[in-house]
Amino acid sequence: MDIEVMQDERDSLDFWLGQFRRLDGVWTGDDCEPGRCYHPLMRDRGRAFLGFLGMLRAKVGLWRAVSGLILICVFVVVALRAGSQSITEDEALTFHSYLGDSFGKVFTSHYDANNSVVHTALCWLSIHIFGLTEFGFRIPTLAGSILFFWAVFQLASILFGRQFFHLIAVLSLAGNPYVLDFFTVARGYGLALGFLALALLAAVRMVNADEIDHAGLFRAGLWSSLSVASSLAFLFAAAGLLLALMLVLLRYPGRRTRSAVALMVIDSAWGPFTVLSFLILVLPLLTATPASFSIGATKWHETIASLVRTSFFHNLEIPLLSSWPKLFQYICEKMAATYIPVLAGSILVAAVGLLFRAGGRRDRLSLLVSLAFSLTVAVAWLAHSFAHVKLPVMRTGVYFLFLFPLALLSFLAGERRSPARRLGWAFLPVALFLVLFYVPQSDAKATFDWRSDAAIRKFSEAIELIRIYQGVSNVRVGGSPVFTETLSFYRLKNGYGQWQPIVRQKATDPADFYVLANTDRDAIHALNLRLLLDDPVSQSILAVPSRIPPVEVK
């Protein structure tokens, strides 16, 4: 039997060798013209690939597949940034304040805005399981990015199905370079944004369902509470979302009475949200003071201008910024002062109109999202006006960069020929404008808020290499006080035992190595320092004292 099998295999091989021959790198048969007939295996692979594309288009949809591929690529870039970018000042401060000791210190230490409780606790677990590395420190943030990207994909699918708008929604929601920064650094904003997106997804599914169920309401309340517990700055957004969900369900109660719907929402959404948020945050907030919440804006114009600046001035190397900076500055100022307030007002007016006008199921989605954005603004304004809480600014208002474009695009998902759909077509150029400016702004080298920290890891490694080469010990590393926490982190992480403890000091205090921010470059001339490294991204420098004494200027 084995002899017959071997004979069959040899005959088969002889047949194929006799049937085909190699000519100029192309397989041809005896009955084919040279260079025209490809090997049948190659033809089968081509047909299989085309068949796979056809199946993908039929099952998933072309634009949904493109959107999914883009999100996967974005996540890969985010993960690479998390492993390669230097630790920032706020991350190092979080480590020194909460992560260097026992797990209970996360909840019992004196509270400040740097303690994003759920995120900080997950970071403690992460570095004790995977080790103290940049990537290990940032695993909870990467988990938040996965939650956010998945929720964005699902929201775009519910709103637009397989339409081209699915791609526009994904790019406008997940393409903001400032939002992507917080999926790279170990701060609570990225994880909180992921939980907020899940809460909004649960609310959208609830509104889109035939019946109101306790499980869906519970998910909305659960994800909202985890969002707030990951970053207290998201309290306004979570409260606005749950209020919007209640109003929409009261407007469309189905077969239930409005009183029954209100009790269901309070019991299954607001109840878990309040209880879980209280249980997680009660111990840390016992030590909070008004100074713990000092970061913020006093006017809405400051809030809008900060978000516009961080979104559109993220990468200063793009052609538009470098070629026409004054024009670009003018456009951004007009956006902050006029265009965005007008758009936000339009969203509010449209939400109120949808609330009091009966509409189809598709209009409910537009109503929920636009109400969530409008009520978030309203809650923040009420807290500012009556409790003197400062308005969100920059990263404390990063959720607006998610809710605002989603509210604009949600009207396109309204019923055909409805006023909401027509308004969506009017808002579409705004979404396209955002996509047009988001994509070129992508910057994998540094973050906006902590750009000066981008070279600290490289500088720390260079200092240790020079110390080893020179054979010296007990070196003093000084410079700009803004780098004290990050230099202390790398001294501990890499075991630089020959470094003296890093203490906060003036940039001109004596040291063996100087790590200086761009604002302290005058110290080079004042101390007659010799420049070793000048990082073009962070504009920070590494310098050492020169052997030649400084010349006194008379």
The secondary structure of 16-71 as a DSSP string is: HHHHEEEETTEEEETTS-TTT---HHHHHHHHHHHHHHHHHHHHT-HHHHHHHHHH
Does 553 fall in a domain? no
Q: Are 419 and 487 in the same domain?
A: no
pLDDT digit string, tens, across residues 501-546 = 988 888 888 889 999 999 999 999 989 899 999 998 889 999 999 8
Q: Are 339 and 268 in the same domain?
A: yes
Does 133 fall in a domain? yes
Contact 214, 235 (CB under 8 A): no
Note the pTM of the prediction, 2 decimals: 0.87
Does 400 fall in a domain? yes
SS3 476: coil
Does 47 fall in a domain? yes
Q: Are 243 and 195 in the same domain?
A: yes
Q: Are 10 and 73 in the same domain?
A: no
Nearest to 394 by CA among 328, 320, 315, 450: 450
CA pair distance 190, 138, nearest whole angstrom: 10
For the beta carbon of residue 5, count every other beta carbon within 10 angstroms. 9
Q: How many domains does the chain have?
A: 3
Nearest to 234 by CA among 269, 206, 202, 196: 196
CA pair distance 465, 468, nearest whole angstrom: 5
pLDDT digit string, tens, across residues 468-511 = 998 888 899 999 999 999 999 999 999 998 999 988 888 888 88
Q: Are 219 and 175 in the same domain?
A: yes
Does 115 fall in a domain? yes
Show pLDDT as tens, one digit a residue, over the chain (554 residues): 444 444 444 444 444 444 444 434 444 444 455 444 545 555 556 566 556 556 656 666 788 989 999 999 999 999 999 999 999 999 999 999 999 888 988 888 888 888 899 999 999 999 999 999 999 999 999 999 999 999 999 999 999 988 899 999 999 999 999 999 999 999 999 999 999 999 999 999 999 887 888 899 999 999 999 999 999 999 999 999 999 999 999 988 877 888 999 999 999 999 999 999 999 999 888 888 777 777 888 999 999 999 998 888 877 666 556 667 777 778 788 888 889 999 999 999 999 988 888 766 778 889 999 999 999 999 999 999 998 899 999 999 999 999 999 999 999 887 777 788 888 898 989 888 888 888 777 777 889 899 999 999 999 999 999 999 988 888 999 999 999 999 999 999 999 989 999 888 888 888 899 999 999 999 999 898 999 999 988 899 999 998 644 444 34
CA pair distance 158, 404, nearest whole angstrom: 18
Does 168 fall in a domain? yes
Q: Phi first, then psi: what are they for 421, rounded to 5°?
A: -65, -40
Q: Are 518 and 392 in the same domain?
A: no
Contact 174, 166 (CB under 8 A): no
Q: Are 84 and 24 in the same domain?
A: no
SS3 154: helix
Tally of CA atoms within 13 A in the half-sphere of 395 that contains its CB: 21
Q: Are 29 and 83 in the same domain?
A: no
Q: Are 359 and 476 in the same domain?
A: no
**Which residue range(s) make up the domain with 464?**
455-545
Instruction: Give the Å distances, CA to CA, from 87 to 90, 123, 365, 451.
Output: 8, 14, 40, 11
End position of a domain, from candidates 406, 433, 451: 451
Burial class for 322, CB neighbours closer than 10 Å (0-12, 13-18, 19+): exposed
End position of a domain, from candidates 422, 451, 480: 451
End position of a domain, from candidates 424, 451, 478: 451
Q: Are 82 and 231 in the same domain?
A: yes
Sign of dihedral through CA atoms 247, 249, 250, 251?
positive
Burial class for 356, CB neighbours closer than 10 Å (0-12, 13-18, 19+): exposed
Q: Are 146 and 26 in the same domain?
A: no
Q: Are 442 and 470 in the same domain?
A: no
Does 444 fall in a domain? yes
